Amino acid sequence: MTIRLVPLGAGQDVGRSCIVITIGGKNIMFDCGMHMGFNDERRFPDFRYISKTAEFTEVLDAIIISHFHLDHCGALPYFTEMCGYDGPIFMTHPTKAICPILLEDYRKIAVDKKGDTKFFTSDMIKQCMKKVTPISLHQTIQVDADMEIKAYYAGHVLGAAMFYVKVGDESVVYTGDYNMTPDRHLGSAWIDKVRPDVLITESTYGTTIRDSKRSRERDFLKKVHDCVLGGGKVLIPVFALGRAQELCILIDAYWERMGLKVPIYFSAGLTERATQYYKLFINWTNQKIKSTFVERNMFEFKHIEPWDRQYISNTGPMVLFATPGMLHQGTSLEVFKKWAPDPKNMVVMPGFCVAGTIGHQVLQGRKVVDIDRFTKVQVNLQVSNLSFSAHADAKGIMQLIRHCEPRNVVLVHGERQAMEFLKSKIVTEFGIRCYNPPNGVTIAIPTSHSMSAKISSSYLKMSHFKLRL
């Protein structure tokens, strides 16, 4: 028996996650994301690999979305409403609640501000979400007579899930993005010892073993404090839900402890809605948040106020959390252009930046960055890269493999060199096959299973007698 797999995105790449597998005669798509580094047709997966005649509903048996980040769900309305897929779609309850808000925010920027004409509409987002079946943690859904799926806690962001899929005797686990280390508001990823035929795992930080979280937090707070003491402004590009809440909890407590009066702002209107989501899905947070939520809501911040665009030219120090996290558009890019020429200022990049984004150029150390064909910006401000990214590092990935005991591993959502390093480590340590296919390349993974057979005791006795003769 064979499981086939082709990445339409996230094959030796980060962004546009979309993995299509064939297992037990069923075709399943894991994630349907967009690439933040492109503004043309390359931002969406090339769905012609599935069907050249656009018969997607007939070919695909299900789509499973791991979490609400746009590089994992951003192409879904395009695929359902513009390409015509009308089959089953599964995601967790928090993902279904938050997805449409992030999709609409992105649509506003692409269409209303940039004038993109080949993009989905607000109504398409609503119609797409109506087709989604939500799934609870540890709930097993029988999709049809042969296929069942089960969701497990992935950490990473609110509602993120790893999915176990079983078709007949074959099985696969798709991790999406996950974090094996608990943080200030989410727990660590967890899954049963399911021993799948194939484990498809992200490998974003496949060569990294992070230092202690406490030392990173101390470093972050010291750099921010030193910058504002020197009269500088600190820009922290974040995505509206996830690391934003983690860092806001950290800096709000520090400001309170130190008695600081320097203003802190958050650019996204999602901060108010974020609090509602965390209240609604409190069971997805960690134990400390759950136990203290009745007395004190950790997401109502004392020192953090909503951002107003007119503050951009204010004199004096300030701290701004601005979306999105890769500086590719929106408020974070607008403020970066204004603050970048001043060496007193600082940008703190707390997460991964996809190649092609302004954030990636900044992290590469470029002193002049190209915003677009007509705009260049001189980068004189201080650049600090402190990884608060909620992805598993190399140690965490190996920990999951050790616990899960798969027969084969497929690496996705990572850069090729990091994958090659991790691949050799997995093969050496576990003695199992490991693959890292590029986008558009199909791999065939052989699976073998023992078969049970009933034999009568009288037949066994007869066979034993004949052997003795």
Q: What single-letter amino acid sits at 92?
A: T
CB atoms under 10 Å from CB of 434, counted, come to: 21
Q: Are 338 and 312 within 8 A, CB to CB?
A: yes
The C-alpha angle 445, 451, 457, rounded to 5 degrees, equals: 165
d(CA 224, CA 50): 48
Beta bridge pairs of residue 446? 2
Evaluated on CA atoms 292, 293, 296, 298, the torsion sign reads positive
Q: Are 445 and 435 within 8 A, CB to CB?
A: yes
Beta strands in 292-402 (DSSP E): 304-306, 318-322, 346-349, 368-370, 376-378, 382-385
CB atoms under 10 Å from CB of 220, counted, come to: 20
d(CA 119, CA 116): 6
Q: Are 98 and 126 within 8 A, CB to CB?
A: no
Q: Which residues touch 284 (CB under 8 Å, ≥6 apart)?
A: 94, 137, 153, 158, 159, 186
- Active-site choice (202, 295, 305, 405): 202
Angle of the 416-430 helix axis to the 394-404 helix axis, nearest 10: 40
H helix count then E strand count, the chain: 14, 22
Q: Which residues touch 136 (CB under 8 Å, ≥6 apart)?
A: 92, 93, 151
Evaluated on CA atoms 265, 269, 272, 273, the torsion sign reads negative
Sheet holding 161-167, edge to edge: 140-142, 147-153, 161-167, 170-174, 198-202, 408-412, 433-435
What's 179-204 look like in SS3? Answer: CCCCCCCCCCCCCCCCCCCEEEEECC
Say how far residue 152 (Cα) sits from the centre of its chain.
15
Q: Which residues touch 237 (CB under 8 Å, ≥6 apart)?
A: 322, 323, 324, 325, 326, 327, 332, 336, 347, 349, 350, 359
202 classed as catalytic: yes
Q: Which residues touch 269 (CB under 8 Å, ≥6 apart)?
A: 306
Give whole-number Cα distances, 12 to 6, 160, 398, in Å.
12, 22, 19
Positions marked active-site? 202
